[in-house]
Amino acid sequence: MQNEKTVGVIGLGLMGEVLATRLMAAGFAVRGTDIDPAKNARLASRGGEAVASAAGVASCGVIVLAVFSTDQVEEVVEKDLLPAVAAGTIVLCTSTCDPDRIEALGRRLADAKLRFLETPVSGTSEQVRRGDGVGLIGGDPKTAEDVKPVLDALFPGRFHIGKVGDGGRAKLAVNLILGLNRMALAEGLTFAERMGLDPKAFLEVAKGAASYSQVMETKGEKMRSRDFAPEGRVKQTLKDVHMMLDQGEKLGQELPMLKVHCDVLEACVRAGEAERDNSIIVEEIRRRRKS
């Protein structure tokens, strides 16, 4: 594998920047690119090498994708990387994607010189920064073993779920549960406040009671203090929710609570909150008062 100590990163948003930082902390050189010049400059200021396009990372032996959508994954892999990479190059897709389309992409790449591994991560960007994100791996176990040092740097905790596509399926199911936990916390905190309870004190009670979920640690204080600096943006969460609903439609599965979550997220977007942290759903719950 050429340039095995230099890892390419395509997409330097919230998660991509964190992944690049973890790789550099583990001793890898990082060559990265983003369509936003400011994000490229930020990588360079942190010791990475910024390049102008995806083609600039094609010589890296391992390439990490952290782009927004399934469309972007397909375009980068098949149009930008596949014609340019050396045989044996491993591409890790950390984006949350339509699992059926990613499975189909994996089949198209089965005999290609590029080796494709699906590696979405469960956790906020801050959790991943701390090493608490959980990788959900889909693809060839041999490829996962060959790229183990990189996976160790990115996701110290991870599960090999199955074939390409299964990592994304697990990610959507995990995110469905996670999103409903955020909704329950937002509604419970608002309910407690309206009943006159001190929200800071109540949050500690909720953490110590049977109601506890990890969401209380990652989002509780953000909701209470109205600190909505993004660790997972509303627009990204809504994109994932739409994929979950699409999967439910294909499967004939009713997802009634998810539809409520979708409605709340869409209201946040209409309120101009698409770029804020997804914990801002608490503001929409606060806005929903009977007249």
Rounded-to-integer distance, Cα 105 and Cα 74, Å: 7
Instruction: For the chain, give percent helix, strand, coil, nearest 5.
Output: 55, 15, 30
Q: Which pLDDT score, from 0 to 100, does residue 1 have? A: 39
Over residues 253-281, mean pLDDT: 98
pLDDT in tens, 137-194: 999 999 999 999 999 999 999 999 999 999 999 999 999 999 999 999 999 999 999 9
Does the structure show a pLDDT above 70 at 3? no
User: Which two three-digit tokens encode residue 100?
Assistant: 């059926």
- Architecture (CATH level 2) of domain 6-163: 3-Layer(aba) Sandwich (3.40)
Task: Check if 6-163 and 169-287 are the same fold.
Answer: no
Question: CA-CA distance, 222 to 166, in Å (whole number)?
Answer: 32
Domain 169-287 indexed as CATH 3.40.50.720: no
Which residue, 68, 71, 86, 70, is CA-closest to 10? 68
CA 159 from chain center: how many Å? 16
pLDDT reading at 2 higher than 90:
no
Structure tokens at 269: 């977007």
pTM higher than 0.85 for the full model?
yes
Q: What are the residues whose beta carbons fall under 8 Å from the beta carbon of 156, sequence distance 6 or more?
A: 131
On the 0-12 / 13-18 / 19+ scale of CB atoms within 10 A, 94 is buried
What is the tens place of the pLDDT at every residue in 61-105? 999 999 999 999 999 999 999 999 999 999 999 999 999 999 999
Q: Which residues pair with 157 in a beta bridge?
A: 134
Side-chain-side CA neighbours of 111 within 13 Å: the count stands at 0
- CA dist 106 and 109 (Å) reads 5
Amino acid at 241: V
6-22 confidence digits (pLDDT tens):
999 999 999 999 999 99
